Amino acid sequence: MSSPLAAKRIVLGVTGSIAAYKVADWVRSLKRDGATVTVIMSKGGARFVTPLTFAALSGNHVHDDMFSMSMAEQIPHIELAKQCDLLLVAPASADAIARLAQGLADDLLSTVALATEAPIMLCPAMNSKMFMHPATQTNLARLAEFGYRIIKPDVGAMACGDDGPGRLPEWHVARHAILSIFARQDLTGRSVLVTAGPTWEPLDPVRFLSNRSSGKMGYAVAAAASQRGASVTLISGPTTLHAPPGVNTIQITTAQEMYDETISRAEGIDVVVKAAAVSDFRPDTQADQKLKKATAKAGTLTLHANPDILQTLGQRKGKCHYPLLVGFAAESEDHLNEGRRKLREKNLDLMVVNDITGVDCGFGVDTNRVTLLDYNDATEELPLLSKEETAHRIWDRVARLLDSQ
């Protein structure tokens, strides 16, 4: 399935940190995303993981010598600098950071860093005391001034036994930062509120009514907006997903809680995208104690309607600065007419209609096939895409709507 990183040429500088072993897995992930990865290893890096490991994972020659003429008799640092959409230095050791900050050029990595016009991203990873040392902090500040993107290391237990800042960030954090470099920055300055996931409507302390939403679609919408420069708030029902980096994520459980959080935050927001599968109903009564088979007769369950969050937002449109509204319609039949009906009834600007009966779209899966409907009844049918790509296609359309406001 397509990824925004497909065909991107990434030159990966691996330097002397024990975290080099984790970066081997990053290469596999980048390859799965369809990127090409060419690795440069510093002498220190090669002491932690062999070049053979990275050659096998990347499928490309690993460069460790500035004067090796192994690139078809070209000058490696110039060729690598040209064949590069991103220079990623991970892990970035204290020594590599110092060398880059001083503009040294006596090894392949530092020379490529001077010669390339591509963005450069550093993932510092080292002992906490080394990371916090004024020399390292000064070097990082200097590189930030040069326009280098620096991903803050994680805080936690280090291989050396210390505890503090200096751990290599998780891959999903690094991947989000990489995607942000390549994403069109057409939502800079915009504020966005996204809802995602299911809601749980309690029956008793153990049981609840819910649905099969995993949150993947909504989280992809929030992550894509953040990558494109927006300030993003995500209101999420219960999921097992990582909160997207750089997104203000608010966890809720019930439809009423999602209503309260969404309505209280919507005013002044530029765009609201409601990808959440909000329970339309909740049990009329919520038992304080677990219902016992003996007492709870297998009778009927009385349901009470939950507030329709999107309908409420639609009714308030036109008053003061109210957001552009994007809804999702989870349909199993008569998709487009149902989508049009909901768009009109809820006074939306865009409706994303998805067929939840398809094996590869809707609830729980990593892909979706949606049709975008707008208030002029313009219809845009998207092919089967990853939810990540679907999210970007939705933002492409929303960005055009924002520009036409």
Catalytic residues: 160
Q: What is the distance between the alpha carbons of residues 42 and 254, in angstroms, rounded to a whole number? A: 52
Q: What is the distance between the alpha carbons of residues 393 and 302, in angstroms, rounded to a whole number? A: 41
Using CB atoms within 10 Å of the CB of residue 316, give its burial: 0 to 12 exposed, 13 to 18 middle, 19+ buried. Answer: middle
CB of 237 to ligand PMT, least distance (A): 9
CB of 331 to ligand PMT, least distance (A): 7
SS percent in the chain: helix, strand, coil, step 5? 35, 25, 40
Q: What is the distance between the alpha carbons of residues 9 and 117, in angstroms, rounded to a whole number? A: 13
**CA angle at residue 349 from 355 to 195, to 5 degrees?**
65
CB of 345 to ligand PMT, least distance (A): 10
41 - beta bridge partners?
Answer: 14
CB within 8 Å of 134: residues ≥ 6 apart: none
CB of 343 to ligand PMT, least distance (A): 10
Nearer to ligand PMT, 65 or 366 (CB): 366
CB of 368 to ligand PMT, least distance (A): 6
| DSSP code for 369 | -
Joined together, the tokens standing for residue 267 give: 């005013």
Length of the chain: 405
Nearer to ligand PMT, 70 or 357 (CB): 357
CB of 310 to ligand PMT, least distance (A): 3
Q: What is the distance between the alpha carbons of residues 121 and 164, in angstroms, rounded to a whole number? A: 22
CB of 121 to ligand PMT, least distance (A): 29
DSSP helix/strand/coil, 257: helix
Joined together, the tokens standing for residue 219 give: 């989280």
Binding site for ligand PMT (CB under 6 A): 197, 213-218, 255, 274-278, 280, 306, 308-310, 327-330, 342, 354, 356, 362-364
String of DSSP letters for 204-254: SSS-EE-----SHHHHHHHHHHHHTT-EEEEEE-S-SSPPPTT-EEEE--S
Phi then psi dihedrals of residue 199, to 5 deg = -120, 155
Q: How far is CA 86 from CA 9, 13, 124, 265, 310, in A?
A: 7, 11, 16, 37, 40
